Amino acid sequence: MEIECLTNLKSRYDQVIKRMTNAGLRCTKFRRNLFTLLFDSEPYALSVEEIRTHPVTQQPDAVTVYRNVEVLTRVGLLNCVTDEKGRVRYRLKENDGPKLTIACRDCHATLVRSSPIIPELESVARDLGYSELNSRLEITGYCEECAEKRSS
């Protein structure tokens, strides 16, 4: 079972690297380390500071992290999630298309699912004359584990 999990992780990592190079981006050491960190951190979304100070990324300066997460988000490899304090957090994007993001306010565990309502909302926007739409819907709350901790 563990070998199957490692094989699946390697396959997903290779797909991310391929998508990045297909987008015309270089596969730098920092980006490889960033993807490793994000895979290891799933399902949690990480802040720039958490990325910057993690030993795996070898503590780059903040500008390097911001520049990379911006470009990787723009080409569709990362999802941005805004936490309750307004901080942007990042996680690997699982696939394309409109998504519903559900994030825990405490531990920042993040789930991304397809949403049947987002295409309907996009249709309204198109009817109003908007084009090149990019949609995401975020819901925040407390995961089951954090909710239990808060109630005790």
pLDDT in tens, 68-113: 999 999 888 998 888 778 888 998 887 666 678 888 988 988 887 7
Q: What is the dihedral of CA 113, 22, 20, 17, to 10 degrees?
A: 90
35, 13 contact by CB (below 8 A):
yes
The CATH number covering residue 72 comes to 1.10.10.10
* Whole-number Å distance between alpha carbons of 147 and 72: 32
Mean pLDDT of the chain: 86
Q: In DSSP terms, which residues pair with 114 in a beta bridge?
A: 99
Q: Which of 39, 121, 116, 108 is nearest to 80 (CA)?
A: 108
Give me the number of domains the chain comprises.
1
Location of structure tokens 């979304």: 45
79, 134 contact by CB (below 8 A):
no
* pLDDT reported for residue 71: 95
Domain that holds residue 109: 2-151
pLDDT in tens, 37-50: 999 998 888 999 99
